[in-house]
Amino acid sequence: MRRKASLVLLAFAVFFTAMSPLMRWYAFPRLAKIPPSQYQEAVLEAKNPTLIDYGSMKAKKVDKVTIVQTLKGNVEASEKIEKNDGDSSRDVVVWDALSYVQDAEGKMVSKVPERYIFDAHSQEPVHATGESVDGDPVKREGIEFKWPFLTEKRDYEYFDAQARVTRPIHYKGTRKFRGMEVYYFEQTIPWTKVPFPKTMPVKGITPESLAKTGTTRWYTTVRKFWVDPTTGAPVYGEEIQNNELRGGTLLGGRDKVTVFSGHVKMREDYIQDTVSLVKSQRVLVLLLTSYLPWGFLILGALLLALSLWLEARGRRPGDPAPEASSDPEPEPVNA
């Protein structure tokens, strides 16, 4: 009986030990994915920034500028790309993003739509028809909006939508944020000539009309992210951003005019919601990468030890020998 129990325990020990690496290296890449229908919204504010008045073409201080960023999963587009991709093992996510900027009175300053297409697990960009910024086709390199699961302590390539360029975003160390251990990343985009938004706040002013004046738009920013390394999701972000108009007849002989200059920070209520959401999601990732693999490995080791112990008890010396039969053996019969 002990031998049968030992064999059963040994079988379970082998099963759970084998499941340990399978959970980490097989199940995790297939189960930890961004859902194609995800919807997310974040609100950022710049207090007392400098903003251009297009009526007078002069910059002035305002109370605040609000930036509403939305990410909406486009399931139909992702399914179409997967069908045309030919790689059935890859799940593709399509995010239709919008960055909407408004002043303290709620008037639109600018709005820039994006379509970001990427691998659901690795967050690597997927180049397909529709990948764009403000209606212009782009070919992204590097990440945007989100880091990969199990973010590493290293620099990453990060795509800047305004400048349409990819530049390194540098790992600057581990920090504490709202009770979480996060990785801090920082990116600097130097002064770069960028296109005008296609939707301008004043009727009659278009990118084409501005181009005829010879006036150009320039942009620089210092981008900061606090990223949860387990999920790769930013829990907080800031930007120190500056935009200028330079040259041309539009400025009336001036060299440059500030379009926007301010320190943009995530609003407090959205910080709380983001931290709460990320904390719940990181438990699911840890189940696949840490809790279950290590739990199965430890359980397998315990079952193996118990199996060997039962086997040893079943074979230990000193057990009484079986008693001899009291019936005499029959004598052989001679012919």
Tokens read off for 305 = 């030890």
The pLDDT score that the predictor gives to residue 90 is 80
Amino acid letter at 213? T
The angle, 0 to 180 degrees and rounded to 10, between the axes of the packed helices 292-314 and 2-22 is 160
The pLDDT score that the predictor gives to residue 89 is 65
Exposed, middle or buried by CB within 10 Å (0-12, 13-18, 19+), for 168?
Answer: middle
Integer CA distances (angstroms), 324 to 315, 318, 321, 327, 331, in order? 21, 17, 9, 9, 18
Amino acid letter at 79? E
Q: Are 121 and 33 within 8 A, CB to CB? A: yes
- SS3 sequence, 137-166? ECCCCCECCCCCCCCCCCCEEEEECCCCEE
What does DSSP say about strands 64-73 and 92-103: parallel, antiparallel, or unpaired? antiparallel
Q: Is the dihedral of CA 5, 9, 15, 18 positive or negative?
A: negative
The pLDDT score that the predictor gives to residue 205 is 81
CB atoms under 10 Å from CB of 227, counted, come to 24
pTM: 0.86
The pLDDT score that the predictor gives to residue 11 is 86
Residue 247 CA, chain-centre distance (Å), reads 40
Exposed, middle or buried by CB within 10 Å (0-12, 13-18, 19+), for 330?
Answer: exposed
Average pLDDT, consecutive stretches of 10 residues, N- to C-terminus, the chain (335 residues): 76 87 87 92 95 87 95 94 73 95 90 95 92 95 95 97 96 96 97 92 83 92 97 96 92 90 95 94 91 90 86 66 54 53
Rounded Cα gap, residues 121 and 267, in angstroms: 28
DSSP result, 106-127: S-EEEEEEEEEEEETTT--B--
Phi, psi of 36 (to 5 degrees): -65, -20
Q: How far apart are the first and last CA of the chain?
A: 46
